[in-house]
Amino acid sequence: MLGPLLLTASRSDRLRRIVAASPLTRSTVDRFVAGEGLEDCLTAVRSLTAAGLDVTLDHLGEDVTDRAAATATRDAYLRLLDELAPLGLGGRAEVSVKLSAFGQALGEGGHDIALEGARRVAEAATAIGTTVNLDMEDHTTVDSTLAILDELRRDHPGTSPVIQSYLFRSEDDCRRLAAPGSRVRLVKGAYKEPAHVAFQDKAEVDRAYVRCLRILMEGGGHPMIGSHDPRLIEITRDLARRTGREAGSYEFQMLYGIRTAEQHRLVGEGERVRVYVPYGTDWYGYYMRRLAERPANLLFFLRSFVPG
């Protein structure tokens, strides 16, 4: 019940202003966000990669409403890639972009504006030996995002999409994307979706995840398991054994600040693990989705408003 309410709240500009203005929110946001500045992000990159984890970096922001903001997002990623270059991490440090922050929803020309911005970022990523992941947002954006993926992959084949198991269409998308060389992140899905496009029941979403996972693990691509769910992690490792996949031909991905000990445990057992590291000032939507995933996080957040 709380989850859907929080997801609705994640799209409210009024609440965004109230929550973002409270100094008390800061300490709870820090658990999920590496910091507001580029330097904070780079500090996290250095420490995570030194511990054997790979990273994918998200300059926070989504749903921009004008072209200048879309350009600012693109430039923020170009600066990030400039700063990553001297670290020499190559594909160990990739970037994750939300196309709505590149102008995807700017009416008529939005799709092309987002494509051109993402193309510039993909060129800069390729130049330093890394790749771009296209995060997946609500279901109305999936066709446009997958079309942009196909365009970018012509010159930048390492570009990856995210597939959300809660969408009915995702098994078909996985079948199409499970080709040699294709990197695909599989997640459960974090948006509030209507019943005509997505499973509403958690157990059904989990079962759909396993069906998609099987398609990706049995295919020729590089599956990226974006989940903290212990059961799905075990199923992945079991499928890897059964399909004869070596560690490194697939990878686990988890969010910054969530199940950190598990991230290190898996690396210790020889698995490849990539941490999704968000940074920047526009953390509201991202943060609210993390609260929605786990009601206990909301209690933690509310407690920060109680004095003493």
Known catalytic residue at 135: yes
State how far the Cα of 287 lies from the Cα of 307, in Å rounded to an integer: 22
Torsions phi, psi for 24 (to 5 deg): -70, -25
Across the strands, what pairs with 239? none
State how far the Cα of 192 lies from the Cα of 7, in Å rounded to an integer: 6
Nearer to ligand FDA, 9 or 67 (CB): 9
CB 256 within 8 A of CB 32: yes
Q: Which of 185, 214, 237, 274 is catalytic?
A: 185
Taking the complex as a whole, the smallest distance from the CB of residue 14 to ligand FDA amounts, in Å, to 23
CB neighbourhood size of 225 (10 A): 28
115: nearest Cα among 132, 130, 91: 132
Taking the complex as a whole, the smallest distance from the CB of residue 145 to ligand FDA amounts, in Å, to 10
Nearer to ligand FDA, 10 or 126 (CB): 10
Taking the complex as a whole, the smallest distance from the CB of residue 120 to ligand FDA amounts, in Å, to 21
Encoding tokens for residue 36?
A: 């507001």
Q: Where does this chain bind ligand FDA (CB under 6 A)?
A: 135-136, 162, 164, 187-191, 226-229, 253-255, 258-259, 276, 290, 293-294, 297
Taking the complex as a whole, the smallest distance from the CB of residue 137 to ligand FDA amounts, in Å, to 7
Q: Which of 58, 135, 138, 282 is catalytic?
A: 135
Taking the complex as a whole, the smallest distance from the CB of residue 157 to ligand FDA amounts, in Å, to 20
Nearer to ligand FDA, 74 or 139 (CB): 139
Encoding tokens for residue 291?
A: 């609260």
Nearer to ligand FDA, 8 or 82 (CB): 8
Encoding tokens for residue 264?
A: 């290190």
Nearer to ligand FDA, 88 or 295 (CB): 295
- The per-residue DSSP string of 150-193 comes to HHHHHH-TT-EEEEETTBTTHHHHHHHH-STT-EEEEE---S--
Known catalytic residue at 17: no
State how far the Cα of 41 lies from the Cα of 30, in Å rounded to an integer: 12
The residues annotated with a catalytic role in the active site are 135, 185
